[in-house]
Amino acid sequence: MTLGTSLRCVGSTFPGVSIPVPGEDPDDPSFSYDEMAYFGENCSEHGLPAPDGVEVTRVEHRLADGRRISALRWGSESPEVVLVHGGAQNAHTWDTVALALRGTSLLAVDLPGHGRSSWRGDRRYDTTAGAEDLAEAVATLAPGARSVVGMSLGGLTSIALTRVADVVEHLVLVDITPGVDAHKAAEVHAFIAGPQTFPDFAEIFARTVAFNPTRTPASLRRGILHNAHRTADGSWEWNYDRRPLTGTEGDDPTAELGVGVLWDDLSATPASILLLRGGASPVVDDDDVAELLRRRPDARVVVVEGSGHSIQGDRPIELAALLRDELGL
């Protein structure tokens, strides 16, 4: 599927948001989603060569309890780098970064309860449980990988991974530290805590645009298609398990993640640490950076100007260049 020319205006549910939905209408009964069909759009939007010959395979690992961890393997060789997305995202959030790093074998993982990975019946989505599942999957799907790049929840899970498995030599944190709290993550939580279902694609698109004003409509359309599905009655529903995030107003959505021990994990790990901070993001503040450097004077901190929390979405080419330099790719 390629980006089409038809446009459809968003309704009035979200006042002030009137961005038309680009491309083929996802509500059309003839529309068919193919997760591998959008790489050309990514390349065109960011000035990358066409994805001719790029090899991407959907792979999975079955956990001991029968759940599955799904992932995208970029390249035919054993992956060198593991990419771990944030909460309410999935492996496709790294597509443009992976396309910019073509030639490097990568594993982009769907965390438990996200993408095509199984939901947990016990709703345990804390960082330790996630790291234990991630460690088992990496051992099978990327046994030679020693570099882990984690964004937001994926970054916290990657920190915990350094405690539960001896596999991380290079750790890149994308706009996250254990200093995250409800106030810093308020904007992120506000989006995630919204509706689970929407009457049509225009509505889910409008809400996504409202919370992501710096992103292009085409990129947001792709992101929704990778992260939601059309149900039998024609409505749209997010793919990720939102159940742990529903609570009474005022609850701290970060409390259940088990971040309390993660500062000590950063102190203890022998892995090199690079923190990439979104210049326009509130999620990491100066105190967080100071605490990281107090505990790990050898850590490097780079501010990516013009980026919000999702650096891989806002500045994927810059992120790819930073990873290439840091990890020697």
- The tens place of each residue's pLDDT in the chain, 329 residues long, gives 222 223 333 333 444 446 789 999 999 999 999 999 999 999 999 999 999 999 999 999 999 999 999 999 999 999 999 999 999 999 999 999 999 999 999 999 999 999 999 999 999 999 999 999 999 999 999 999 999 999 999 999 999 999 999 999 999 999 999 999 989 999 888 888 889 999 999 999 999 999 988 889 999 999 999 999 999 999 999 999 987 544 434 455 555 666 779 999 999 999 999 999 999 999 999 999 999 999 999 999 999 999 999 999 999 999 999 999 999 99
- Residue 309 annotated to the active site: yes
Please tell me which residue in 95, 110, 133, 175 is annotated as part of the active site.
175
pLDDT at 148: 98
Residue 135 has what pLDDT?
98
Of 152, 158, 219, 310, which one is the catalytic site residue?
152
Residue of 92, 309, 310, 314 with catalytic role: 309
Classify domain 57-182+268-327 at the CATH superfamily level. Answer: Alpha/Beta hydrolase fold, catalytic domain (3.40.50.1820)
- pLDDT for res 310: 96
pLDDT computed for residue 291 by the predictor:
97
- In the prediction, which pLDDT does 8 show? 35
pLDDT at residue 257, rounded to an integer: 67
Structure tokens at 30: 């003839």
Query: Could you tell me the pTM of the whole model?
Result: 0.92
Q: Is 175 a catalytic residue?
A: yes
Domain boundary assignment for the chain: 57-182+268-327
